[in-house]
């Protein structure tokens, strides 16, 4: 079984390739676009601490669990769950967990592609020098009028979806691996440069203290839910993306080491993005809680003022697009892998079908910033609703079930075999987290939010 499946989809060429691809999936708009704005909306330091706690206590153990299930199951999440449930003589309905992931991934991609489209549009703005010497007001106005225009957003959303599907069509090694090999290191370097710029603004200390001085009075049940949901979102957990990448992972690779490396890199990128952005927010008298437009309204101010701003600005948005790209391919891969396995269609056919579906749903997000801005459910517009539904509900629920499956359903012998943790203490920490800590934490947060506690 294992061999036939890896022939259908291929396999990573090395451990390094897997780390790159998993980091590529983890590091994306979540780190650079979403983390700063939700930190701003949720009051800063205390939110960051809850998020970091969730990454360490829940995120890393679940990342290990997902990779392990993928590698042992050797197929798309739906079929991997089916196979492993059978192996453990458990209920075959566990496969629905795979389904939850497939659907969550497609919904996330629908709005992810719209935001990535903004980044694409900003590449052109940067190249043409639009940001040069712009004041905070002008740059803010530029963004506002951009999102008010559905036509251009649809154009960029379409472009991004086509580019994504072109990579996904080419499959594991040819498409996914090549796409991420050079992008991650370059993005990292550019972020450091932006941090350097932020350090020279008067508001550097203010920015840092906003991010790292916790004021726990600003924490509400909802912000804990957002922080936890974001830990799943940013690490690409709870929906089978890491599982499907794990299924292409050669047997001899240490799952634990790779999980720590991927989560570490992801966290560093998010923190660097925050450190680059908040000083600019305060230096220009802006509000940290402006929402999804935050990076588009702050970073261009810096590019407009620095020497070589046209080059750096262009490079930054190009890299942001690539970071989004290496995540978006992992958002749709579980669906594509499932369709190729079960329907026997070619990768191309599956990509055209699934890509079009996602594109269509994305139009709802485009319109939620303009024509349909007034349409709200539970006080949220379509974009906010899809984001809440996926990041704050579907991913944590998926993660909780993955933890329960890995901790309670799979035989200990099997998880030990896969994780190959010679150090007994480490295995113990892992099993305690997936059996108790993660499921209970997710459950308590949900209970708190729905007001039962
Ligand atoms: N981790 C990605 C980011 O931070 O942008 C988003 C993401 C990718 C979420 C893949 C979930 C996923 F399965």
pLDDT digits (tens, 9 = 90+) for 416-452: 999 988 778 889 999 999 999 999 999 998 888 777 6
Helices (H), 148-220: 150-169, 178-181, 183-199, 204-212
Q: Is the pLDDT of residue 3 over 60?
A: no
Residue 195 belongs to a domain: yes
Q: How many domains does the chain have?
A: 1
Query: Ligand 1, atom 7: nearest CA belongs to which residue?
Result: 236
User: Which residues line ligand 1 at a C-beta cut-off of 6 Å?
Assistant: 25-26, 28-31, 105, 108, 233-234, 236, 239, 241, 327, 330-331
Residue 337's pLDDT is 85
Q: How far is the CA of 381 from the centre of ligand 1 (A)?
A: 21
Q: State the DSSP string of 380-396.
A: B-HHHHHHIIIIIIIHH
| Contact criterion met (CB below 8 Å) for 168 and 244 | no
Q: How far is the CA of 371 from the centre of ligand 1 (A)?
A: 28
Q: Flag whether the pTM goes above 0.75.
A: yes
Helices (H), 55-149: 60-73, 77-87, 95-127, 136-147
Q: How far is the CA of 138 from the centre of ligand 1 (A)?
A: 31
Please give the number of the atom of ligand 1 that sits closest to the Cα of 29.
Answer: 5
Q: What would the mean pLDDT of 152-161 be, rounded to a whole number?
A: 98
Higher pLDDT, 1 or 402: 402
Residue 190 belongs to a domain: yes
Question: How far, in Å, CA of 69 to CA of 66, rounded?
Answer: 5
| Contact criterion met (CB below 8 Å) for 102 and 335 | yes
Residue 1 belongs to a domain: no
Which residues make beta-bridge pairs with 377?
A: 380
Q: What is the CATH number of the domain that holds 282?
A: 1.20.1740
Q: How far is the CA of 282 from the centre of ligand 1 (A)?
A: 28
Please give the number of the atom of ligand 1 that sits closest to the Cα of 266.
Answer: 4
DSSP annotation of 306 reads S
Q: Is the pLDDT of residue 184 over 80?
A: no
Question: How far, in Å, CA of 148 to CA of 366, rounded?
Answer: 9
Q: Is the pLDDT of residue 206 over 90?
A: yes
Those residues whose C-beta lies under 8 Å from the C-beta of residue 304, and which sit 6 or more positions away, are 131, 132, 133, 134, 139, 313
Confidence of residue 172 (pLDDT cuts 50, 70, 90): low
Q: What would the mean pLDDT of 123-137 be, rounded to a whole number?
A: 94
pLDDT tens across 341-364, in order?
A: 888 899 999 999 999 999 999 999
Residue 47 belongs to a domain: yes
Which residues make beta-bridge pairs with 412?
A: none
Those residues whose C-beta lies under 8 Å from the C-beta of residue 222, and which sit 6 or more positions away, are 449
Higher pLDDT, 424 or 137: 137
Query: Ligand 1, atom 13: nearest CA belongs to which residue?
Result: 236
pLDDT tens across 299-322, in order?
A: 999 899 888 889 989 989 988 998
Residue 304 belongs to a domain: yes
DSSP annotation of 130 reads T
The preferred substitution site among 22, 25, 176, 336 for testing ligand 1, maximizing ligand atoms within 8 Å of CB, is 25
Q: Is the pLDDT of residue 180 over 90?
A: no
Residue 2's pLDDT is 41
Q: What would the mean pLDDT of 146-158 be, rounded to a whole number?
A: 97
Q: Is the pLDDT of residue 325 over 70?
A: yes
Residue 6's pLDDT is 47
| Contact criterion met (CB below 8 Å) for 64 and 72 | no
Residue 113 belongs to a domain: yes
Query: Ligand 1, atom 11: nearest CA belongs to which residue?
Result: 236
Q: How far is the CA of 41 from the centre of ligand 1 (A)?
A: 20
Q: Provide the residue range defining the domain that includes 214.
A: 6-449
N-term to C-term CA, the chain: 47
Q: How far is the CA of 396 from the centre of ligand 1 (A)?
A: 13
């Amino acid at each position: 079984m294992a061999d036939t499946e890896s022939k259908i989809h291929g396999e990573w060429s090395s451990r390094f390739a897997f780390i790159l691809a998993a980091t590529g999936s983890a590091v994306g708009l979540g780190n650079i676009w979403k983390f700063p704005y939700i930190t701003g909306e949720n009051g800063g330091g205390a939110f960051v601490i809850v998020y970091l706690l969730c990454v360490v206590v829940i995120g890393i153990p679940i990342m290990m669990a997902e990779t392990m299930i993928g590698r042992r199951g050797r197929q798309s999440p739906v079929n991997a769950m089916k196979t492993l449930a059978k192996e453990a003589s458990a209920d075959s309905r566990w496969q629905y967990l795979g389904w939850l992931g497939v659907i969550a991934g497609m919904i996330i991609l629908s709005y992810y592609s719209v935001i990535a489209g903004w980044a694409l549009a900003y590449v052109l703005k940067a190249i043409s020098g639009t940001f040069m010497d712009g004041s905070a007001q002008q740059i803010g106005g530029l963004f506002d009028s951009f999102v008010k225009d559905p036509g251009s957003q649809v154009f960029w959303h379409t472009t991004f979806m086509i580019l994504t599907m072109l990579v996904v069509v080419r499959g594991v090694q040819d498409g996914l691996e090549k796409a991420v090999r050079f992008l991650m290191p370059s993005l990292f370097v550019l972020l450091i440069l932006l941090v350097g710029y932020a350090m020279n603004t008067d508001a550097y200390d203010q920015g840092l203290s906003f991010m790292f001085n916790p004021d726990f009075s600003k924490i509400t049940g909802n912000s804990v839910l957002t922080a936890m949901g974001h830990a799943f979102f940013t690490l690409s957990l709870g929906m089978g993306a890491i599982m499907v990448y794990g299924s292409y992972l050669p047997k001899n690779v240490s799952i634990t080491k790779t999980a720590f490396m991927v989560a570490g890199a992801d966290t560093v990128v998010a923190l660097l993005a925050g450190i680059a952005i908040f000083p600019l927010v305060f230096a220009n008298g802006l509000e940290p809680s402006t929402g999804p437009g935050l990076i588009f309204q702050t970073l261009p101010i810096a590019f407009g003022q620095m020497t070589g701003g046209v080059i750096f600005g262009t490079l930054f948005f190009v890299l942001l697009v690539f970071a989004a790209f290496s995540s978006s391919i992992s958002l749709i891969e579980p669906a594509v892998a499932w369709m190729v396995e079960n329907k026997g269609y070619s990768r191309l056919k599956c990509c055209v079908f699934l890509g079009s579906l996602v594109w269509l749903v994305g139009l709802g997000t485009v319109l939620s910033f303009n024509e349909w801005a007034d349409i709200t459910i539970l006080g949220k517009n379509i974009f906010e609703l899809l984001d809440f539904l996926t990041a704050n509900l579907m991913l944590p629920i998926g993660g909780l079930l993955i933890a329960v499956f890995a901790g309670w359903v799979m035989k200990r012998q099997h998880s030990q075999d896969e994780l190959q943790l010679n150090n007994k203490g480490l295995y113990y920490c892992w099993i305690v987290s997936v059996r108790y800590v993660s499921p209970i934490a997710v459950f308590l947060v949900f209970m708190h939010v729905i007001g039962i506690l």
